[in-house]
Structures are given as structure tokens and as C-alpha cells.
Chain A
Amino acid sequence: MPKVTFVAFTGCVHTVEVPVGTTLMRAATDNRVPGIDGDCGGNCACATCHIYVDPIWSDRVGTRTATEEDMLNIVAEPRGNSRLACQIVLTDALNGLIVSLPEAQH
């Protein structure tokens, strides 16, 4: 089961362990990690699961989908390492992943 660490805007750290195949968004919401809303239920349609991928993980996490690219246009403070957590599926290769959260979701 991959482990993933969420670093909140305040610096507060949450590490959770979830089954392979879980999205990063569900990893947060199912474990009550604050700061990720997922209002659209994982349809890449609300941009309320915005996260920043730790640079050392960028290659393994992969690239944005076209829809995700569109939705990242509406978040506050997008950066080069911005992703929507609902579009990242956790695998064993992502065991140890670290992401940080924006100040708040759009």
C-alpha cells in the first residue's frame, strides 16, 4: 500500500497509507486530511483538489491531462508543479510521494 504525505500550507504534515489504485484526492478525503475538497467527486471539474507535487516526484507522477490543464487555469496561484489530486492514481511506484497544499482551494 503506497504511503503519501500531504504538507499543509501551515506546515502541518499528514501521512496516509492507501490501497493501490486510489486517487490522491480520495487518499486525502477518505482520511480526513484537511485542505482538499473534491467538490465534483473526482471528475476533474471543480479544481478544489489543487496540490503542488514535490519536484523530486514530478517525473514519476507524470503529466497533466488536457482537461486538467484547462481546470488549472481557474485555481489561485497555479505553479509549474500544480496538479489536481483527482487525476493522480497512486501506485507502488509512487510510494513515499510528497505533495504540498495551497493556502486554500478555489
Chain B
Amino acid sequence: MKTTASVEPAAIGAAARARAALLPLEELNPADPQGFVDDTVGYVFERLRREDPVHRSHSPIPGIDTYWSVTRYRDIMQVDTSHGIYSSEDGITLMDFPPGDEQKLPMFIAMDPPKHDEQRKAVGPIVAPSNLNNWQGLIRERTAKVLDGLPRNETFNWVDKVSIELTTHMLATLFDFPLQDRRLLTHWSDMATSNKLTNPDAPEPEVRMAELRKMLEYFTRLWNERINAPPRTDLVSMLAHGPATRNMGPTEYMGNLILLIVGGNDTTRNSMTGGLLALHEHPQEMSKLRANPALIDSLVPEIIRWQTPLAYMRRSALVDTELGGKQIRKGDKLAMWYLSGNRDESAIPEPNRFIVDRERPRQHLSFGFGIHRCVGNRLAELQLKILWEEILRRFEVIEVVGKPTRIRSAFVRGFSDLPVRIPS
């Protein structure tokens, strides 16, 4: 008997395409993580954008249940910029936890003004443009070291050896976290985003919370060190000394740490992998880039659009309202599918092509719009820019020698494995 794993990817794609086309509309549920493992959710979005752009679905996953999918660029822009109508306070993913469940952590991405604004302002300066110049030399040095240490003539996992290594280095630098323990940050980031309900292989909720409590312990030690020292420019010191954040309780501290760790880790990590894969799948674009490395400036936002490392953000309606002709009731939850909006032909020309010299590459949704727009967007771009500059300088070719393995999540759109080989 054949298992799913041995079915050819082409067959999986064709079956998913047929399913997306033939199923009754009400059965389309883009939050099904399988569509992300197979990378076939695009077929569902294609149909929804055309036939039912603001779409109500039911998910069999407990805690998700009924939700709206917002699939067009303009509707997403409208929801994202109307924070008075669509609240972030219930969290940023579709999963609801029972009231008082310790798994729901307070963090500023999941707050509305004015508290959101105060806490965001406390961490904003570390990734502000004027501060990025200070990081630039260090990022380049570390990127060069990682790339120079890569194996030659043998197959290795790009995700582990490059994407995780670089983003974890960066996070450790931002937190002034002991470098030798940096993989703990990756571990905690993976723990924070793991969810037993959507992924049977994920750890049990108790195990997850126990690991996150270890994270809190570790960071509480750092907090205590830094609060007793003069203010410095690392994130922990900024939180410990910032007027809006210095009185945070432990769960709020944990929530904001997770936000910054996941925000600075999963996202850029997967754009680092997704960019290599996209260029491998579009050899003409790679040739253009090799011929003119100045295109890195437009390559970077195009990678971020193409990958859309966070597939959606959730909002909850604060009042009865209307969106795209649909009646949204107070309390309803919505997913703004950035992944779908980034493929919306009514807003982005030729959205299904990866184009390194796209005319307006920055007008993508991946960072979100409105007051919750990604606080680390410029740092992410800087890391990717330096990575590609250093890659082009060193390697004539990086061969992708196998299929990527994608993460079982409808929220973090990413990879656990991309086998590559660099000839000597």
C-alpha cells in the first residue's frame, strides 16, 4: 500500500488542485496545515480570491472552529489598518484557548492601543534605522564566517547550517545572549510556535510550557543582571529599564520575549531558505542577479513577498461590520491571509512569477500594514541583503539537490530541510 509520503509531489499537486476546484465552496478551509506541508494551499486561495474573497470556513481543529478568510490585497489592507474595528487582543493566530489558559501569553503584537504603542516604543529603538548601522559590520562578519565554514562537495541542510545559524546569531546579538547557548533560542522559538492540535508530532502542551518556563528562568537571570547595571543597547536591558516595560510581570515578559524570538527567528530564517529555493526554481532570475548584483535591493523584498514567512495574522471584530459584502459579527475572528494577498493579481502584476527586478517590489503584505507593521522589517532586510551579497561574492553555484521539507503549520510558512551541495 502506498503511503502519502511516497506519492510523487506532482500527483499531490494535481490532486490538491482538483480538490480546490471541485469542492463546494463552504468546504474550503485554507487553515488546514496539510496544504502548507504540500505547498498546495495556493490553489485554495486562487479560487477564494475569484469566487469568495471574504470566506467563512469551519476547521475541524478544536480552538480554531469558525473563522473568516480575507484573501484579497485590498481587503487585507482595510482590516490591517482598521485597528479600531478589528482588534488584536484575542491573539494573532486562529487558535483560541479557554479563558485563563496559561498558553495564551500577553505580548504587544496582541494588544491594542494605547498599551501596544507604549510597549512597542520601548523596543523599537533597537531596530531603528540609526541603530542598524551599528549592527551592519557584525552581521557581515558573522555571515562571512558561517558561509566560509560550509562543507564542499557534500549534501547538507541549508536550513540548519545557514538559515538557523545566521538568525540565531543575530538574535543572540540583539539580546546580548551568551553566544555558546544560542541554539537554545532556536529551541525556544520552535517550542513557542509548536501546537499539538495542528501538528501531532509537536510536544504535549505541558512539555511546551515547561520548556518556555526554562526560557523565562534563563531570561530572568539576564534581566536581573541588566536591571542592576547601567542601561545598555541590548533588548533585555532596554526592556528592564524602559518606563513602559520595566514593571512587566513574568508572563508578560515571557510573552514579549517569545514575540521577539519568534519574530526575529522563524521569519528571517524561512526567507533565507525560501530565497535560495526561489532562485533555484527560477534560473533565469538567478542569471539576471549574477549579471547585476545591484538587483539585490529589489531581490530582498521580492524574496519576502514570495516566501511570506507568516502566512496570516488574526484579528477579531469589535463591532458588527461589513467586509467585501459580507456581514461580520462582533466577536468573529478573521485571518488576513498575507500569503494570498501577495499573490493577488489585482494588486501585484504577475504575482505568480518570482521577478528579481520587479518594479515596485516593496508593496507586499508580508510585514503587515498599520500600527502592527513588523518592527524588525529593516533588520530583516539588512540580514538578507548581506547574506546575498556574501553568497554572490563566494559561490558560483549552490545546487539544490532535493525537495524541501515544509513545516506543518498554517501560520509559520517555512522549512525544516533543504538539501544543497556546493561544489568546490
Q: Residues of A with Cβ closer than 8 Å to B?
A: 37, 39-41, 43-48, 67, 70-71, 73-74, 76-77, 102-106
- Asked whether A40 and B130 contact (CB < 8 A) given A45-B77, A74-B375, A76-B124, the answer is no
B129 touches A74 (CB 8 A): no
A45 touches B370 (CB 8 A): yes
User: Number of B residues whose C-beta is below 8 Å from A?
Assistant: 25
A45 touches B121 (CB 8 A): no
Which of the residues B130, B360, B369, B375 comes within 8 Å of A46, measured between beta carbons?
A: B369
A74 touches B124 (CB 8 A): yes
Q: For chain B residues 347-385, which have a beta carbon within 8 Å of chain A?
A: 360, 362-363, 367, 369-371, 373, 375, 377-378
B130 touches A103 (CB 8 A): yes
List residues of chain A with CB within 8 A of the CB of B373: 45-47, 74
A-B contact pairs, 13 of them (CB 8 A): A39-B363, A40-B77, A40-B363, A40-B369, A45-B77, A70-B370, A70-B371, A73-B117, A74-B120, A77-B130, A104-B129, A104-B378, A106-B377
List residues of chain B with CB within 8 A of the CB of A106: 128-129, 377-378
User: What's the count of A-B pairs with C-beta under 8 Å?
Assistant: 62
Q: For chain B residues 116-144, which have a beta carbon within 8 Å of chain A?
A: 117, 120-121, 124-125, 128-130, 132
Convert B326-354 into 0s and 1s, putting 1 for each residue whose CB lies closer than 8 angstroms to a CB of A: 00000000000000000000000000000
A105 touches B129 (CB 8 A): yes
List residues of chain A with CB within 8 A of the CB of B47: none
B144 nearest CB across to chain A (Å)? 24
Tell me the complex Cα distance, A48–B370, Å: 11
B90 at the interface (CB under 8 A from A): no
B63 at the interface (CB under 8 A from A): no
A71 nearest CB across to chain B (Å)? 7
List residues of chain A with CB within 8 A of the CB of B129: 76, 102-106
List residues of chain A with CB within 8 A of the CB of B59: none
List residues of chain A with CB within 8 A of the CB of B124: 74, 76
List residues of chain A with CB within 8 A of the CB of B302: none
Chain A residue at minimum C-beta to C-beta distance from B82: A67
B378 touches A70 (CB 8 A): no
Tell me the complex Cα distance, A67–B375, Å: 18
Tell me the complex Cα distance, A41–B371, Å: 16
A70 touches B83 (CB 8 A): yes
B365 nearest CB across to chain A (Å)? 9
A45 nearest CB across to chain B (Å)? 4
- Asked whether A73 and B121 contact (CB < 8 A) given A45-B81, A45-B370, A103-B130, the answer is yes
Tell me the complex Cα distance, A96–B83, Å: 36
List residues of chain B with CB within 8 A of the CB of A71: 370-371
- Known A-B contacts: A41-B363, A44-B81, A73-B121. Give 7 more (CB < 8 A): A40-B369, A43-B81, A45-B369, A70-B113, A74-B373, A74-B375, A106-B129
Tell me the complex Cα distance, A105–B381, Å: 13
List residues of chain A with CB within 8 A of the CB of B130: 76-77, 103-104
List residues of chain A with CB within 8 A of the CB of B83: 70
A74 touches B77 (CB 8 A): no
Tell me the complex Cα distance, A76–B378, Å: 12
Question: Sorted from nearest, which 4 A-B pairs have the closest CB atoms?
Answer: A104-B129, A45-B369, A76-B128, A39-B362
Chain A residue at minimum C-beta to C-beta distance from B132: A104
List residues of chain A with CB within 8 A of the CB of B132: 104
B46 at the interface (CB under 8 A from A): no
A43 touches B369 (CB 8 A): yes
Tell me the complex Cα distance, A46–B377, Å: 11
B265 nearest CB across to chain A (Å)? 21
Most chain A CB inside 10 Å of its own CB: which residue of B117, B367, B373, B375: B373
